[in-house]
A and B are shown apart, each in its own frame.
Chain A
Amino acid sequence: MNPLHGKLGLKIAIGVVLAFALVPFIPDAHEHYLFFYLFLVFVNIIVAQGWNVVAGYTGQISLAQHAFFGIGGYTTALLAIHFFEDGGSYFNPLLLAASGVVAALFAIVIGFPLLSKLAGDYFALGTLGLGEIVRVVLIKGGRATGGSAGISMSPEPFETLMPHYWVGLLLAAACTLVVFLMSRSRLGLALMAVREDSIAAAASGVPVLRMKVGAFAASAFMTGLAGSLYAFYVFAVSPGGFLNLSWTLYPILMCVMGGSGTVLGPVLGAFVMTAVFSAGNVYLPGVHPIVSGALIILVMLFMPSGILRMREGRRRRAKTGQQVEKGSQASGVAPSR
């Protein structure tokens, strides 16, 4: 029994979150680079958990996360400049919630046709196309979306990074909690059944399409929240910054590295990968994408199922015996299609 899944684990988790919540009270903590690093980690945890829900648990590889991130950011910016001209938009929970909801609604509207028609690689490719369409629409949106320059919000309310830190921590913890509760519920079981074998799941009475769309929407909701939070940090949303494919690739990287389809894998992945990217930015400016790229390759080559899954994988192999091993060696390549 993994201690992290028991009652003790929950207590530890609450303790850790509280400890992080107290960090800003350390004098001058908010001026340290590590403080900014932690904020980035929280944003990344939210997007990584978003991808985890739809791809890790439900098995639908979405490559449109940057679209949801962008929709979240743009919703926040548009609402802020149109309805809160006199201020009051800064960290307004209404804006945060609206950004998540708009992204989720978009996911539902687009999810039914896409998910009823496409599965597997085709769904991944379809979502990739979807993200690009959203990007073009935002660029060509004219006055409404500010074109390729995007929309700027007033940076006036900014004083310190503390509200970002706390809201980020709260949302990251909440998303992780949601994933945790989901993974132990009937709902989570249904999602995993869809991932493992959607035909068998349908035969057992799982409403497969609704499950997939639901997971897609939940994923979009989380990612939209992260987009809104990030918009409050940069105060300017633009297609280049928000519709950037990195917002799809990084969460995948973090999930896969930590272990996708696990509760804590994305959290671990977010901490590690953000550290790598930040350290690269500080110590190797200019060269660091090369290092990051090399690191991605190395991780994939040597721990393809993530850090958390390594133990599990070893155990599973020991249990299911050697036929699997032998079988995959004989053909050299696992029969996939």
Chain B
Amino acid sequence: MSELGLIAELLVNGVLFGAMYGVAAIGLSLIFGTMGIIFLAQGAMIVLGGYAAYWAFRLLDVDPYVMLFLLLPVSLLVGSAMYQLLFRRAAAMQDKNTSLLIAVGLSFMLESAMSLVWTPDPRSITTSYTSSSVHFLGMNWSITRTAGFFVAIASALSVTQFLRRTMIGKAVRATSEDMTSAALVGIAPHRVNMIAFAIGIALAGIAGCTLAATYTIDPYFGFLLSLKALIALALGGLGHVGGALAGGVLLGLIESGSSYVFPGWGDAFGYAAFLLVLMFRPQGLFVRTVTKA
């Protein structure tokens, strides 16, 4: 293949993989926006969703993209329960260390529980179409990667519409804007927090299904994924759904681009971009308004 074609393919793959970071980042963004919690267990939840899809495929022969819809109500319930059991009290505290550490504890627990159940060996779902691809615009588009990208776009669009159109969505936005004032106009903070958290976990489930359908997963992949989601979040600006997705795509591009030029350094470039953005554009790259009360 020509040099140019290779680069194009690399960039496309960066975008497609980055979309997954984006979905994880949207979940983080919702949770951070309402509760001010950096939910470091998001990656572990994604991997857990991936294992659920893996099991459904191996034991019950359920297609991962069907499982995505089956997992949706389950993960909403799990998210609500998790908020009520683990984060309800911590969310009410000024000290955010507590909730950060609960998330870390949860992440530990999930990682080792998963490596106990599914062993630390990497797992993947191999369907009839996993390795097939479509030839389009002179490039090979892997079906699963492309599907993952569209799932990401669809998730971002539905979350945006939910936040814009529904009453609960507006309450979520109001709470992210100003917790106290939201409470003053009669929005129940715990309910909003719970809903935001449940959606965050549901997004983790979605990301998990597409991840398992496309790549191999192992129990310890989650933490790295959380970090990547955080970077995507910072690139896109905290609390913006579209920005989070764009941040994820940008991170995917940075990683694949830099690892082409400097093999092995992809991660470092991602983190460096993260640091620079935090320092010089903490409001994110894709946000126009600077002043926010």
Q: Is A253 in contact with chain B by the CB < 8 A criterion?
A: yes
Q: Is B121 in contact with chain A by the CB < 8 A criterion?
A: no
Q: What sequence of 0s and 1s flags, for each residue 88-129 of chain B, a beta carbon within 8 Å of any chain A beta carbon?
A: 011111111111011011111111110010000000000000
Q: Is B188 in contact with chain A by the CB < 8 A criterion?
A: yes
Given A130-B275, A136-B271, decide whether A289 and B105 contact each other with a Cβ distance below 8 A: no
B residues less than 8 Å from A328 (CB atoms): 92
- Establish whether residues A133 and B102, one from each chain, have CB atoms under 8 Å apart when the complex forms: no
- Establish whether residues B183 and A331, one from each chain, have CB atoms under 8 Å apart when the complex forms: yes
Q: Whole-angstrom distance between the alpha carbons of A336 and B34 in the complex?
A: 11
CB distance from A298 to the nearest CB of B (A): 8
Total residue contacts A-B, CB cutoff 8 A: 146
- Establish whether residues A129 and B97, one from each chain, have CB atoms under 8 Å apart when the complex forms: no
Contact of B106 among A126, A137, A297, A330 (CB under 8 A): A297
- Establish whether residues A128 and B227, one from each chain, have CB atoms under 8 Å apart when the complex forms: yes
Q: Is A84 in contact with chain B by the CB < 8 A criterion?
A: no
Q: Is B83 in contact with chain A by the CB < 8 A criterion?
A: no
CB distance from A271 to the nearest CB of B (A): 18
Q: Is A334 in contact with chain B by the CB < 8 A criterion?
A: yes
- Establish whether residues B188 and A332, one from each chain, have CB atoms under 8 Å apart when the complex forms: yes
Contact of A125 among B35, B179, B278 (CB under 8 A): B278
Q: Is B5 in contact with chain A by the CB < 8 A criterion?
A: no
Q: Whole-angstrom distance between the alpha carbons of A288 and B108 in the complex?
A: 10
Given A256-B101, A300-B101, A330-B183, decide whether A126 and B279 contact each other with a Cβ distance below 8 A: yes
Contact of B105 among A114, A125, A139, A297 (CB under 8 A): A297
**B-side interface residues, number (CB < 8 Å):** 53
Q: Whole-angstrom distance between the alpha carbons of A99 and B136 in the complex?
A: 56
| Stretch in A116-124, A159-167, A177-185, A204-212 touching the partner | A116-124
Provide the main secondary structure of the chain A interface: helix
- Establish whether residues B93 and A301, one from each chain, have CB atoms under 8 Å apart when the complex forms: no
B residues less than 8 Å from A330 (CB atoms): 183
Q: Is A290 in contact with chain B by the CB < 8 A criterion?
A: yes
Q: What sequence of 0s and 1s flags, for each residue 37-51 of chain A, a beta carbon within 8 Å of any chain B beta carbon?
A: 000000000000000
- Establish whether residues A118 and B278, one from each chain, have CB atoms under 8 Å apart when the complex forms: yes
B residues less than 8 Å from A297 (CB atoms): 86, 102, 105-106, 109
Contact of B89 among A132, A295, A301 (CB under 8 A): A301
> Which single residue of chain B is at the shortest CB-CB distance from A252?
B101
- Establish whether residues B223 and A245, one from each chain, have CB atoms under 8 Å apart when the complex forms: yes
- Establish whether residues A129 and B278, one from each chain, have CB atoms under 8 Å apart when the complex forms: yes
What residues of chain A have their CB less than 8 Å away from a CB belonging to chain B?
61, 113-114, 117-118, 121-122, 124-126, 128-130, 132-133, 136-137, 139-140, 245, 249, 252-253, 256, 260, 286-290, 292-297, 300-301, 304-305, 328, 330-337
What residues of chain B have their CB less than 8 Å away from a CB belonging to chain A?
35-36, 38, 86, 89-99, 101-102, 104-113, 116, 178-180, 183, 188-190, 193, 223, 227, 230-231, 234, 264-265, 267-268, 271-272, 274-275, 278-280, 282
